[in-house]
Structure 1
Amino acid sequence: MMRASLARVLAGVFLVGCASSTENPTSKAPDADSVWDCVLPDAPEPDASGEIGCRTDFERLASDPLDASIPGAESAKTIVDRSDDGTLHFINSERYPVHYDYASAFLSGDGLPIVPDLGSFNTTEYYAPDRRFLLGAVTWYSEPGVFVYELAPYDTSDADMIAEAFRAIVAHSYFGEELLFHPTSLAIEEVAKSLPPDVPIITTDELFAGITYQPLNLGSAMGQLRFYTSDQVEEYVNYREIVVLDQIPNDISVVAGTITSEFQTPLAHINVLAQNRGTPNMALRGAFDDDALRALDGKWVELTVDALDWSIREVSEAEAEVWWEANRPAPIDVAPMDTSVEGIWWCEDILDPALDTEDAVPLRIPAFGGKVSHMAAMKRIGDEVPIPKCLGIPLYWYDQHMRTHGLWDVYAEYTTRPEWLDPRTRAELLEELQDQIEDAPLSEALLEEVRTIIDRDFDRIKMRFRSSTNAEDLGGFSGAGLYTSKSGEWDDDGDDITDAITDVWASVWNPRAWEEREYWGISHTDVGMAILVNPTYDDEQANGVAITANIFDASGLEPAFYINVQQGEESVVLPEDGDTTDQILYYYDSPGQPVVYIRRSNLVPEGETVMSNAELYELGTALSAIHAHFLPAYGRSGGFYAMDIEFKITEDGRLEVKQARPYPGWQAD
């Protein structure tokens, strides 16, 4: 491709030559005592510049970074062209979100070497030792207040290349004397150990230490601002409240928005619920005692959570009422229970073998629920995805339990009482219904069949009975954390297994689950509970959750797997106060498969990781296969697509995938 015409270049690109690697790297730098001035004209908007002379210059070139794993960032891409005497280009990154777009338009032909096709460009310019371009980005992190130079996590630049580009940027930017280098992956951390003293380093942990604001789910909402401790929100909270919390709660009912005083993990239940509901969610260190927020306690407000900052303003109750009328969620259509399927089924036999997964799963969810149906689909993938031997108990048995003991009628009678309209009284009545479900005798036929299978096929080991309603793990609604799963030990009379089954069934009427369904307009009597049954294991080496996409990259230009994993059986979605987990971006499809640790677990010795490289590779292989298998079912809309996975490393070091469901991601907005 030929470079753009000279007129176009002069109209939009302002370049300053910088030294090549064989020259004094500061030989063309402005005088150290000179005062920096803005260099970009007011119009037109530039394609690039060879110098950044002021904050305004930077803002006109910068954009949100493709990877927003560290919040509060603005980033301008850079290219050093080593075939053109080391000329430095600060690129308009809104206009050219990837380096190739700019290089192919302006740095190809017309006296310069031809820039090849995208595939060849990426292979050469990120990995070749004799590459033409040095690709990177200058990023401003607002809360630590630092400018840093960064590479793509999979870039294999050596220390000399990094230093060459770093020095060029120092020489041609007003912030040069304050610039730091931020290694973005484990591999680059190793290279950084060889950098010269004039390339100072800042680590990811050091960046996070200076951050007080964490945007989790972007958006805006109106509601009444209220302060609660984490245990208080386990009681009823009004869905028109925006809540400020001292800690991350175990669970929370529908609210208009959330502000936690502790940082969250992206896969924490509170954030998954916010994504499902499309409600703003953020963390702000010290929020619970913040004077400005406390001054608004009990008042109607509008909360806005953006990628770089947040705002809150007082509004009138009338304004809030208008907003709520305009923003009522569209009802979710849930297929009613299919109670025609009896018996107990092996997972691999549940789906119709004549149908593809995209057609077979929706037909089985009304009978087996989302969790069982997706587990059955994973059985089709093969050895790449190790999953435990499992059974599905269809919704038929739940419905029979409710009918046999008159429990549908009990619920119907409760809803006719005047006090049903009071949320707290309603919660008490629902808990009474749960008690009746748990106390009612279990079908002897079901118990005998379950016990026979556990005796014959599982050697009487402890089993896990996991919730699987027909109103969860759907394409646009996950229902994460709404229902109960329990373990059951073998005993001669079957009491423990009975308790596990009836407890799972009763969780359909968990007050929190009822309120969530009510918010989404789901008919409660259309919802039934199937059960996924598989072995449970004690003394796990690790447990975790993963998303088969880079959840920090809405553009899709930086594909990676997001993994959140913790040692042993400690929770990853709700860690104990003070515990941190390994939070990883794994660039599985990139050469060298670089690993980026966003945060590190403090339950393993310093310098160690929860998972080994071999375990990460095995997990990455499974995630890749799951992503591809469910793509026809959930990824054909053209929007963001990913699967949400739960996994564990067993006591004897085996990977097992426990669950897969569509991840709401940005589709929930």
Structure 2
Amino acid sequence: AIGRLKYIESDEINNAYLSGELKPTDILLTDFVPSEIPYVAGILSLTPTTPNSHVSILAQSYGIPFAYIKDPIGRAKAMSLVDSLTLLRTSSGYWGSCTIETLDASSVSSQYLGEILELKKAPKIEVNEKLSKGSIVIRDLTQVWPSDSRYIGGKAANFGFLRRTVPNNSPEAIAFTFDLWDDFMNQPMGDKTLREEINSRIEPFNTWPTDIASLDKELRDIRNIIRKAADFSEEKKSAILNELSDFSPNEKLRFRSSTNVEDTRYFVGAGLYDSYSGCVLDDTDNNETGPSHCDPEEPEERGVFRAMRKVYASFYNLNAYLERLRHGVNESEVGMALLVHHSYPDDIELANGVATLVRQPSGRSTRIDINMVTQLGAVSVANPEGGAIPEVVSGYMYRGASNYEGVNLQQRSSLVLLGKEAVMDWEEDYLWLVENFYQISQAYIKHFPENQEPHLEFEYKKVRDGEIVIKQIREVPTNSSSGSEDLAVIGAPSQFKVFQGEYGTVMGNHRLKSLWQMEGENRWINPQAERRSFIANAQVDITLDRETISMSGSPLEWSNHRFKIRQSGNQGYARDSWNWNGEHGLTSYWIEGQMPNATAYEKDPVRGLSQITYFLGADYRKSVPVYNSGFGGVNEGTTRNDAVRLVVGQPSDPAQEGSLLQNRSFSAGGVSIETQFYWPPFPKGPTAGYTSPLEKWVQTKIIGLTSDPIILRGYFSQTYRPGHHNFWEDFVFEPKLDEELSEAQASELEEENVRQILLFTDPWGQGGSMSFIGLDGESRSPGK
């Protein structure tokens, strides 16, 4: 997303939207995510939110970022960008991992911004235009299919999958058709029909964007007219009661919204419309006094006609109408049908949840990943309120060459008492859901054979008798952006440092140790055939000729600058190269960004420089020394090329929460070294092949070379390079590059002919070796 970042507290979001303080083009930063949020360009929260909530499902459907910022650095950066044009990119990884990046985009011109936002323009929804069924109800939902959304809307039409696949674990239901809706809308309302009255009120607001505050007032009036001034005819009331006669009259019935502009393969519309409960006896007891026959705790009657009118009125909820308007929906082609079944009162509800399912076919096998978010009792997952943390369980299933399934508890519910394993029966209930979600997905792809990888969402409940009920299925379509042939670069200043992990060599890392702040040009580039550098300016701190110097300016102005797209297989690299004089004479330096391939940027076409992987290299005219350690000991050699990877950040960045403090010590020839540094937190999930990089230096103490111990704390004076799986480690220490080194200590090191100390350690066996590099470039062992 790219838009103005606005901080709005959760209870002020709607007011801010109506007043224009928060606009649909803005990125919302809020303290807490409520159960409903109007359309915005992106959503960032400062508190964890419920996965699989309606807000989450809608964000996926819209293709907008929706994330919780946990990292204190990320929070501070986001808050610093409030009221600024901001580029926000989020991505999710395995086992709940994610990345969140915010960049200042205030230098972007209005024209360029418009070109980018055109790619995010809402597509026109393919609506299955409502038609007359010739009757007001469909009683047998085992016979309905998604194409029947033209008669009964998406939610009711999808219900057929449940009634056919899990008939004993889905509610018996009927659906009132658009015939009933049209009859209701055609009732007289003064000298107009109700439909004509509504159309006259919304006609001034038929283009996007619109006057939201004025529209909201008109929609409020429309909903009041439907709820209070309009009603079903006596003939239709009799027909409705007749169709409801198979349900128990003294039990609540749930009337669920089912429009033909939601729960389709093209648009989900989660949470835009409302559902209500009603009691038949309250409408047939020949009085209007309470309490309700179906719920004695309700002091007023709650009849079915009242419930149906309230559902109908929700067709004109503000966010619902805005989404139809934003997607260019013709109001004459859509309407409200009703899915009806017995209600599940809160007092019998043991658990409720929302699950998402993703199928990943591969040859003759299929992997199914299921994410189940469940909460105790009737505390809603789909529309969460309060701060209760839900349970999260991941399920998996393989079918094909091998057949197995399992579940993993990822997060406990804050409402579950200690000693209880999970919200429902562990693992039995969850494995049952995995199996039945799979069976329903099988029925779904059988009906849509061209769509073998649907992203499906389910809602379920567990009730007092132990029964698990699956009450909803829908596909969650994704809408990232229109296709783009080029990449949009946002030139926000981006800071980089050298990656001190499993890449390159320790000597290469040290020779190229540098800090970069780069600004890019705000423009479109062709990642495969760009001919001009898009780095507008760079400020560099780097060690050249044994001292750290600073340079700034456009790389275009550096000596012998050249630019090209370098191809390596199917991967392109945007390379800037130039010449600098350094310790090893005139050297060709280069920096190159790994260009995303077409499949990566076609639907995600915006990048800041910090969102491009950069590498820095040097090509020397003469060979330079390298020292590498491994299982065979320390090897000395030469090279004419160094390359390092750059990562976003500064040496002053604090260690992350959960980072791992490391201590290494080694002594040889009367010299001892104690070094402390942080590894980042281990990644979640399987970590086969993981090697921890250095995240942050603490300090290094060197005793025995000078009268007073040398304390190194600087970025340039300490370099680290781990071996595979951290089985060994290479260090280079160059005290002269540390700002805290005293003149007396510098003189003592010169007298000892020590420029650099190389340390090679085995942190597991506590073995290792130490070497000195003299001012003459020669290596020797301590004590020699």
In 2, the alpha carbon distance for the partners of 1:412 and 1:666 equals 30
Q: How does 1:137-176 map to 2 (within 5 A)?
A: none
Residue 410 of structure 1 pairs with residue 197 of structure 2 = yes
Amino acid at match of 1:432: D
The correspondence for 1:310, drawn from 101, 124, 138, is 101
1:422 aligned to 2:216?
no
Aligned to 2:352: 543
Residue 304 of structure 2 corresponds to 497
Residues in 2 aligned to 1:500 and 1:241: alpha-carbon distance in whole angstroms: 35
Question: Which residue of the partner structure matches residue 764 of structure 2?
Answer: none
Deviation at 1:387, TM superposition (A): 0.9
Shift in CA distance, 492/518, structure 1 to aligned 2, threshold 3 Å: closer
Alignment of 1:661 with 2:445, yes or no, is: no
How far apart are the structure 2 equivalents of 1:645 and 1:305?
Answer: 25
State the distance in 2 between where 1:350 and 1:396 align: 18
Residue in 1 aligned with 2:623?
Answer: none
The match for 1:482 among 254, 269, 272 is: 272
Tell me which residue corresponds to 2:256.
Answer: 466
Aligned ranges 1:471-620 → 2 under 5 Å? 471-493=261-283, 496-538=303-345, 539-549=348-358, 559-589=368-398, 593-607=405-419, 608-612=421-425, 613-620=427-434
**1:432 is aligned to 2:225:** no
1:568 and 1:587 mapped to 2: Cα distance? 25
Paired residues of 1:391 and 1:532 also in contact (CA < 8 A)? yes
On the 8 A contact 2:393/2:411 being kept in 1, the answer is: yes
Q: Distance in 1 between matches of 2:455 and 2:392?
A: 17
Do the aligned residues in 1 keep the contact of 2:53 with 2:384 (CA within 8 Å)?
A: no
> Which amino acid in structure 2 is aligned with residue 373 of structure 1?
A
Partners in 2 of 1:617 and 1:345 — Cα distance?
33
TM-score normalised to the size of structure 2? 0.52
Maintained 8 Å contact 2:351/2:378? yes
Could you say which structure has the higher helix fraction? Answer: 1
CA distance in 1, matches of 2:319, 2:240: 29
Residue 497 of structure 1 and its aligned partner are, at CA, apart by 0.8
One-letter code aligned to 1:618: W
CA separation of 1:461/1:577 partners in 2, compared to 1, >3 Å: closer, same or farther? closer
RMSD, aligned α-carbons: 2.8
Aligned to 2:81: 296
Q: 2: CA distance between counterparts of 1:667 and 1:222?
A: 13
Tell me if structure 2 keeps the 8 A contact 1:234–1:251: no
- CA deviation profile, 1:338-363 (whole Å, cap 9, x unmatched): 12432322143653xxxxxxxx421x
Q: Distance in 2 between matches of 1:559 and 1:416?
A: 46
Write out aligned runs for 1:608-647 (5 A).
Answer: 608-612=421-425, 613-634=427-448, 636-637=450-451, 640-647=453-460
Q: Which aligned pairs between 1:199-278 and structure 2 lie closer than 5 A?
A: 221-235=1-15, 236=17, 237-278=22-63
Distance 2:359 2:164 in 1: 25
Confirm or deny: 8 A CA contact 2:206 2:325 kept in the other structure.
Answer: no
Q: Deviations over 1:520-541 (max 9, x none)?
A: 2222232100000000122211
Deviations, residues 86-120 of structure 1 (Å, cap 9, x unaligned): xxxxxxxxxxxxxxxxxxxxxxxxxxxxxxxxxxx
Q: Which amino acid aligns with 2:183?
A: Q
Deviates more, 1:407-416 or 1:560-569: 407-416
User: CA–CA distance in 2 between the matches of 1:291 and 1:586?
Assistant: 35
- Give the drift of 1:317: 5.3
CA 457–294 in structure 1, closer or farther in 2 if over 3 Å, else same: closer
Partner of 1:371: 155
Checking the alignment, whether the CA contact within 8 Å between 1:634 and 1:662 is kept in structure 2 is no
Structure 1 length-normalised TM: 0.61
Q: After superposition, what is the alpha-carbon deviation per residue over 1:58-82, rounded to whole angstroms, capped at 9, x for unaligned?
A: xxxxxxxxxxxxxxxxxxxxxxxxx
How many residues align? The count is 435
How far residue 229 of structure 1 moved from its aligned partner, in angstroms, is: 1.3
CA contact (8 A) 1:254 1:519 kept: no
Equivalent residues in 2 for 1:345-384 (5 A)? 345-348=138-141, 350-351=143-144, 360-362=145-147, 364-383=148-167
Q: Deviations for 1:314-339, whole angstroms, at most 9, x for unmatched residues?
A: 23351322222333122112122112
Percent identity between matched residues is 26
* Structure 2 CA distance for partners of 1:546 and 1:416, relative to 1, 3 Å: closer
Q: How many angstroms apart in 1 are the aligned matches of 2:355 and 2:125?
A: 26
* Structure 2 counterpart SS, 1:302: strand
What per-residue deviation string (whole Å, max 9, x for no partner) do you get for residues 248-294 of structure 1? 12211111111111223331222211111111221113889944333
Distance of 2:73 and 2:138 partners within structure 1: 49
Instruction: Give the counterpart letter for 1:616 in structure 2.
Output: Y
Alpha-carbon displacement from aligned partner over 1:102-154 (angstroms, at most 9, x marks no partner): xxxxxxxxxxxxxxxxxxxxxxxxxxxxxxxxxxxxxxxxxxxxxxxxxxxxx
Q: Deviations over 1:445-498 (max 9, x none)?
A: 332233334444424311000000000111121110000000112334356211
In structure 2, distance between residues paired with 1:468 and 1:287:
43
Deviations 1:43-64 (A, max 9, x none): xxxxxxxxxxxxxxxxxxxxxx
Q: Which moved more, 1:518-527 or 1:431-440?
A: 518-527
Question: Contact between 1:419 and 1:426, CA under 8 Å: does it hold in 2?
Answer: no
Partner Cα distance (1:568, 1:388) in 2: 19
> Equivalents in 1 of 2:76, 2:7: separation in Å?
12
Determine the structure 2 residue equivalent to 1:652.
465
SS of residue matched to 1:548: strand
Deviates more, 1:622-631 or 1:492-501: 492-501
- Within-5 A mapping of 1:41-60: none
Contact 2:255 2:308 in 1 (8 A): yes
* Contact 1:340–1:396, Cα closer than 8 Å, also in 2: yes
**C-alpha separation in 1, matches of 2:236 and 2:422:** 44
Judging changes above 3 Å, is the alpha-carbon distance between structure 1 residues 418 and 525 closer, same or farther for their aligned structure 2 residues? closer
The structure that is strand-richer by fraction is 2
The whole-number CA distance in structure 2 between the counterparts of 1:415 and 1:545 is: 35
**Could you tell me how far apart the structure 1 residues matched to 2:109 and 2:11 are?**
28
User: Separation in 1 of the partners of 2:246 and 2:61?
Assistant: 41
Q: Distance in 2 between matches of 1:234 and 1:348?
A: 38
Amino acid at match of 1:402: M
Amino acid at match of 1:366: R
User: Which residue number corresponds to residue 178 of structure 2?
Assistant: 395
- Structure 2 gaps of 5+ residues are 93-98, 285-301, 482-602, 604-784
Compute the displacement of 1:416 (Å).
4.3
Q: What are the superposed Cα offsets for residues 181-231 of structure 1, whole Å, 9 maximum, x if unpaired?
A: xxxxxxxxxxxxxxxxxxxxxxxxxxxxxxxxxxxxxxxx21111111112
2:441 counterpart SS class: helix
Equivalent AA in structure 1 for residue 159 of structure 2 = M
Q: Which has the larger radius of gyration?
A: 2
Q: Secondary structure at the match of 2:414?
A: coil
